[in-house]
Amino acid sequence: MAEVDNKVPAAVRTEFGKGFARRLRAAGQIPAVIYGHGSDTRHVSLPAHQVGLLLRKKNAVLDLQIEGKSQLVLVKDVQKDPVHMIIEHIDLVEIIKGETVVVEVPVHVVGTALSGTVVELDIKTLHLQAEAMHIPEYVEVDIEGALPGFKVHVADVKLPAGVFVVGETDGLVVHVHTPRGVDMGETAEELQAELADDAAHADHKEELHAAQHDAEKAAADADAELSGAKAEAEKDAE
């Protein structure tokens, strides 16, 4: 899919109210408000089609063209009609290149766990601090080949350079388990324990065989010695 230009023409609006907002949307425009950095709140209208395409990306950054000047903004909130899912209003916050912002970023699970297991996504988004112009669209958690018992905590999630978790890092993001009442066989830990037990048993078996061999040899030597003594006694009797 071709990249959508984030340079968006924005018209300053001085009219407000639900009726005016409806007329704007009917004309293919979306009402929006800009705030932040101590500036006065500004009300603008944006082209609905272009902005709708840009909003497919989480935490979209728009380069608004307002009366011949450029203003970078971060999409902070989008209100939609709950039935028709039409964008009704957008909240925008001013940003400056180089500054850091705190945003909510989705977690995507990639890869396939062991067949028959259940993958639970316990935390669907992470609060991250990132440079305003380099906000990750999402972060990935790889579960390829994961066995029951596999877990990924917030601290384990791989993040791009310069991106940091905001808040606690011990939360469970993803875990893999077996369906309730289903025996999936051995886990990796159980398999290792069983192999170690088998190895120990094999060593013990070899020790038993060696001891048995030594005992049999000693018994044979004793029998031979006894037979020799008996034959010597019989010879002396003659």
Q: Where are the domains of the chain?
A: 7-96, 102-177, 186-238
* Nearest Cα to Cα of residue 45 among 62, 57, 28: 28
Residue with tokens 């709950």: 82
Contacts of 148 (CB under 8 A, 6+ apart): 114, 117, 176, 177, 178, 184, 187
Architecture per CATH, domain 7-96, reads as Beta Barrel (2.40)
* Nearest Cα to Cα of residue 102 among 74, 124, 64: 74
pTM of the model: 0.69
Looking at residue 1, its pLDDT comes to 47
Looking at residue 233, its pLDDT comes to 47
CATH for 102-177? 2.170.120.20
Asked if residues 80 and 86 have their Cβ atoms less than 8 Å apart, the reply is: yes
CA angle 114, 119, 121 (to 5 degrees): 150
Looking at residue 86, its pLDDT comes to 87
Residue stretches of the chain with pLDDT short of 70: 1-4, 181-238
Looking at residue 52, its pLDDT comes to 92
Looking at residue 46, its pLDDT comes to 96
Looking at residue 187, its pLDDT comes to 56
